[in-house]
Amino acid sequence: MARMSRFYITTPIFYVNGDPHLGTAYAAINADAFARWHRLLGDEVLFLTGTDEHGLKIQQSADEHGISPQAWVDQTASRFMSAWQELAISFDDFIRTTQDRHHRTVQKFLTAIYENGYIEKGYYIGLYCVACEAYYEESELLDGNRCPIHERPVSEMSEENYFFKLSAFTEKLIELYESGKIKVAPEFRVNEVLGFLRQGLKDISITRTSISWGVQVPWDEQHVFYVWYDALINYLTAISYGDDEARFAKWWPAVHHLLGKDIIRFHAVWWPAMCLAAGIDPPSQLLVSGWLLVDGAKMSKSSENQIDPLSVVRELSADALRYYLLASTSFGSDGDVSLDRLRASYNADLANDLGNLVSRTVALIVQKLGGMTPPTPVRDERINPLIDILLEGVAAWNEFRPNAALGAAMGMVRFSNSLLEEYEPWRRPAEDAGSIWCLGTIREALRLAAALLSPAIPNASSGVLSRLGWQELGPLEWSAGGEVRELVRAQPLFPRLAKEGR
């Protein structure tokens, strides 16, 4: 199964006006799982994440804390970096929009758009939500001129600035989505995008004179670029746009942008239009996640209903949090989460089903076979159900459906548990062929289940492998035979939580 593909995946870059929270961690964890899955397939992977450090919102947070914007972003960006490390986010590059490399790319890319005639000077009056860093039409607002996302009042802003001729791209974008040249997962989001596009697009204001915390417009020093217009370009900075043609061509346009549904307009409409205007291909795929909700409301850094991701990591483990988020939400839809359900999922799936199966299998091999691993049996009809579930899991990861992939892994675990109950190796003599078959089958099933689980629970998956004497994951298919290893009893993979729901 030799594959020589490339997989470039990005997260949205995170605003540094506050600390990482469960909602932002969710974006990073989903992208990380997809990156890990593609590494496991043997793809060459580039996984990019980072921080969005310009704009009014950041300038205001710095002012509130009485420090310079640079000192503020340095502090918060490093908190994101260390949080991502605690959450086992295996990024290859962490971009910060205040880096020189990004300023240079923004200036090159936007100069290309300017020279192609898609940027013009004009005057703007509009209703602005600082939290979104976006202008709204009056018709989009809630009663009392409130932002539909933050439910806070918007303010009137007026300024002379440069406009991007977004309207010139309406038809072209419709064609790109209708023909599937830009893919969107889950697919139902395409209709939402086509809906915006068919209403017609208006030109957008892309520079500001009222703030200085941004990337300077190279042809007019009075202006800085609007934060969203600069932020999207991070996806090109990381692959050396305008700097290293070969590297750029290696990764672009086969990119997978992961984003939350609240920022779909920027990624599905503005961003491809900006690429077309600069004369490069649009991105090839958008992966749009839903929101994490607590008691039906979107969780955010300001909400009361916070679940702090790092305190979950410290109480349980990064694996426990990652597993719960990926297994209990359907990628693309909103998912309601709670600490009680997180603990219940840890106990039921990880400690009971997976952890116990590993412990029992190791204990039986130690007891009955003197610790010597039984060979993996040749595939027959008794093993077929396991292979069917494995293939479902592989397809699910390939289709960006983590909950289905993890469901398949747990299906393999449960099937293995039922084999143990059926063959009852503890009742049979050590040399019994059925018993040796059963333990060899379960050991191989656990190796393959660990492969399906590894994008979600990388640490525990290694724990499964090492307890069962596998030195590495090995091929993603049933592999009869195998070398004999000696197993010893080990600590439980997931110590059971004494009390659930508190």
Dist CA 60 CA 71 (whole Å): 13
Query: Tokens 């999207």 correspond to what residue?
Result: 232
Rounded least distance, CB 286 to ligand MSP, Å: 11
State the binding string over 320-359 for ligand MSP (x if CB under 6 A, else -): ----------------------------------------
Rounded least distance, CB 291 to ligand MSP, Å: 4
- Using CB under 6 A as the binding criterion, the count of chain residues that bind ligand MSP stands at 20
State the binding string over 211-250 for ligand MSP (x if CB under 6 A, else -): --------------------xx------------------
Rounded least distance, CB 52 to ligand MSP, Å: 3
User: Which tokens belong to 332?
Assistant: 């693309």
For position 110 contacting ligand MSP by CB under 6 A, the verdict is: no
For position 23 contacting ligand MSP by CB under 6 A, the verdict is: yes
Q: Report helix, strand or coil for 156.
A: strand
Dist CA 27 CA 288 (whole Å): 10
For position 33 contacting ligand MSP by CB under 6 A, the verdict is: no
- Tell me the window of 13-21, 69-77, 341-349, 450-458 that interacts with ligand MSP (CB under 6 A): 13-21
- Tell me the window of 9-17, 196-204, 210-218, 398-406 that interacts with ligand MSP (CB under 6 A): 9-17
Ranges assigned E (strand) in 137-295 = 155-164, 183-185, 204-205, 207-208, 224-225, 255-260, 285-289, 292-294
Q: Any idea what DSSP says for residue 374?
A: P
Dist CA 446 CA 357 (whole Å): 9
Q: Which of 152, 228, 221, 166 is nearest to 197 (CA)?
A: 166
- Tell me the window of 11-19, 116-124, 316-324, 488-496 that interacts with ligand MSP (CB under 6 A): 11-19
For position 413 contacting ligand MSP by CB under 6 A, the verdict is: no
Rounded least distance, CB 377 to ligand MSP, Å: 44
Q: Which of 5, 91, 4, 38 is nearest to 455 (CA)?
A: 38
Residue with the CB atom nearest ligand MSP in the bound state: 260
For position 56 contacting ligand MSP by CB under 6 A, the verdict is: no
Q: Decide: 27 and 310 in contact? Cβ < 8 Å.
A: no
For position 260 contacting ligand MSP by CB under 6 A, the verdict is: yes
For position 147 contacting ligand MSP by CB under 6 A, the verdict is: no
User: Which tokens belong to 404?
Assistant: 């289905």
For position 262 contacting ligand MSP by CB under 6 A, the verdict is: yes
Comparing CB distances to ligand MSP, the nearer of 29 and 439 is 29
Sheet with 119-129: list strands edge to edge: 134-136, 119-129, 155-164, 204-205
Dist CA 418 CA 413 (whole Å): 9
Q: Report helix, strand or coil for 478.
A: coil
Dist CA 8 CA 335 (whole Å): 26
Dist CA 179 CA 23 (whole Å): 32
For position 26 contacting ligand MSP by CB under 6 A, the verdict is: yes
Chain residues binding ligand MSP by CB under 6 A are 12-15, 23-24, 26-27, 52, 231-232, 259-260, 262-263, 291-292, 298-300
